[in-house]
Structure 1
Amino acid sequence: MNQLLPLITRTVVAAATLLVAATAAQAQGVTGSADAGKKKAEMCIGCHGIAGYQNSFPEIHKVPKISGQSDKYIVSALTAYKKGDRKHPSMRGIAASLSEQDMADLAAFYSAQAGKAPGDAPKTASAAAAALIEKGACASCHGANFAKPIDPTYPKIAGQHADYLYVALKAYSVEGNNVVGRSNGIMAGIAKQFKPAEMREIAKYLGSLDGDLQTVPQSRFR
């Protein structure tokens, strides 16, 4: 198996490079306004503006930290919900109501709220977690410290809620479900290598790292 890891890593990097090129080719060039996004974020703060707020679908987990994600990733994620590539009913309903300008404005607002940037080297993982991270070639796309992805359309995952990371990773392995799952050829291939317990181990380690993602409480929840 160890002999296959370099091949898996090269395959993931090659596929990621192709996806980056395709994403760049499809870019619409819409410029977002953080000030406009602040006004439009009213629909978001009920979940993403409350520290520790939990979602009960498809299982109980904390809603993700989105303050500090790159603007391009936020637009990419919202677009995936709108298209149905991400099948979360609530998020799909919200994303369906957004124009490209709305998405760009929200992305500008949330991307400007990054916390303190982490260092280049994350803390040492346990032997079990390190082996799983290497098997999944996670650093190939998300960066050596998991907070500087190779392309801004990919998420920062260092310091993200571990229970959310687990649910998200598991969603990529789901097929044939109308309300649960995520369509992404790269992540599906990676996720299907792991058992649920292994996904939890990966998520636990990544969630323990320093990162610049955070939940910024909005005024009505302070």
Structure 2
Amino acid sequence: MKTLFPAMIALLLTGFAAATQAQDKAGDAAAGQNKNAMCIGCHGITGYQASFPEIYKVPMIAGQNAKYIVAALNAYKKGDRKHPTMRGIADSLSEQDMADLAAYYETQGGPRAELPATPVKVPGPEVAELLKKGSCAACHGENFSKPIDGSYPKLAGQHGDYLYVALKAYGTQGNANVGRAHAIMGAQVKAFSHTELKGLSGYIASLPSDLKTVPQSKFK
């Protein structure tokens, strides 16, 4: 299984990159700032916790890759990511809306810090073996903050409980309201127990990050 993952990733990335390039649309960050009313109620509150499908902190998206934000919103809109609230929001957005919001959140919070090329915090032996088993750095970068393509997310420093819930969702099938359909991540997650996924999430969450939550008021 270990030897198959890198080859499978390379093959799937080729087709995925071609598909995302066809969807690219230039975003306007200033326009996105005027379209984020539905976003700030969760993503603009430091430490805000969602309660579905379980309690966890909503992800930090300020500083996240714009291409990834667009890809995620499209996945919610198509139903590849099953989450009733996010599906409803994504359904209301045009391709231009998504591009504008993504451009805004990629730059929100100002310039990003230059992070070490490799994590300063070395994982313990068990987590190191899990990272190797999943070939996590192959897509998300050695420091988990410089993915090989912008359509993949920065992970370093993201909330650990969110990462854990997201990883479990890739392995969930047959649930109308929970789950994420993604060929690469679905195959990866099958190789891990929930305990192992939690260990991976905790380590990645502990790394230096340029992701942020920028507090915002809904009253502008």
Shorter-chain TM-score tier: over 0.9
Aligned equivalents of 2:114 and 2:98: distance in 1?
24
Q: Give 1:220 shift.
A: 5.1
Deviation at 1:119, TM superposition (A): 1.3
- Indicate the residue corresponding to 1:86 in structure 2: 81
Distance 2:5 2:86 in 1: 32
Please give the secondary structure, in 2, of the residue aligned with 1:118: coil
Deviation at 1:211, TM superposition (A): 1.4
2:148 aligned with 1:120: no
Please say if 1:132 is aligned against 2:130: yes
Q: 2:165 aligns with which of 161, 167, 175?
A: 167
Say which structure is richer in helix: 1
Cα deviation, 1:50-77, whole Å, max 9, x if unaligned, reads 1110001000000000011111111000
Runs of 5+ unmatched residues, structure 2: none
TM-score (norm 1): 0.93
- 1:12 matches 2:9: yes
Query: 1:148 Cα shift?
Result: 0.6
Partner of 2:118: helix, strand, or coil?
Answer: coil
* Equivalent residue, structure 2, for 1:141: 139
CA contact (8 A) 1:13 1:140 kept: no
User: Structure 1, residues 19-55: CA drift from partner, whole Å, max 9, x if none?
Assistant: 222322x22x422111111111111001000111000
- 1:12 and 1:117 mapped to 2: Cα distance? 27
Per-residue Cα deviation, 1:172-210 (whole angstroms, up to 9, x for no partner): 001111100000011000011111100000000000001
* Residue deviations 1:131-164 (CA, integer Å, cap 9, x gap): 1111111000001111011110011101100000
Is residue 51 from structure 1 mapped to residue 46 from structure 2 by the alignment? Answer: yes
Deviations along 1:105-149, one digit per CA (max 9) or x if unpaired, are: 100100012642321111211111111111111000001111011
Retained in 2: the 8 A contact 1:171–1:180?
Answer: yes
TM-score by length of 2: 0.94
Deviations 1:54-102 (A, max 9, x none): 0010000000000111111110000000000000110000000000111
2:151 aligned with 1:179: no
User: Identity over aligned residues, as a percent?
Assistant: 56
* Alignment root-mean-square deviation, CA: 1.4
The number of aligned residues is 216
Task: Please identify runs of 4+ aligned residues in structure 1 that moved more than 4 A.
Answer: none
SS in 1 for 2:142: coil
Give the superposition deviation at 1:11: 2.4
1:209 corresponds in structure 2 to 207
- Alpha-carbon contact 1:32-1:104 (below 8 Å) kept: yes
Paired residues of 1:162 and 1:206 also in contact (CA < 8 A): yes
Aligned equivalents of 2:99 and 2:6: distance in 1? 32
2:58 equivalent to 1:60: no
Q: Distance between the aligned counterparts of 2:178 and 2:104, measured in 1?
A: 28
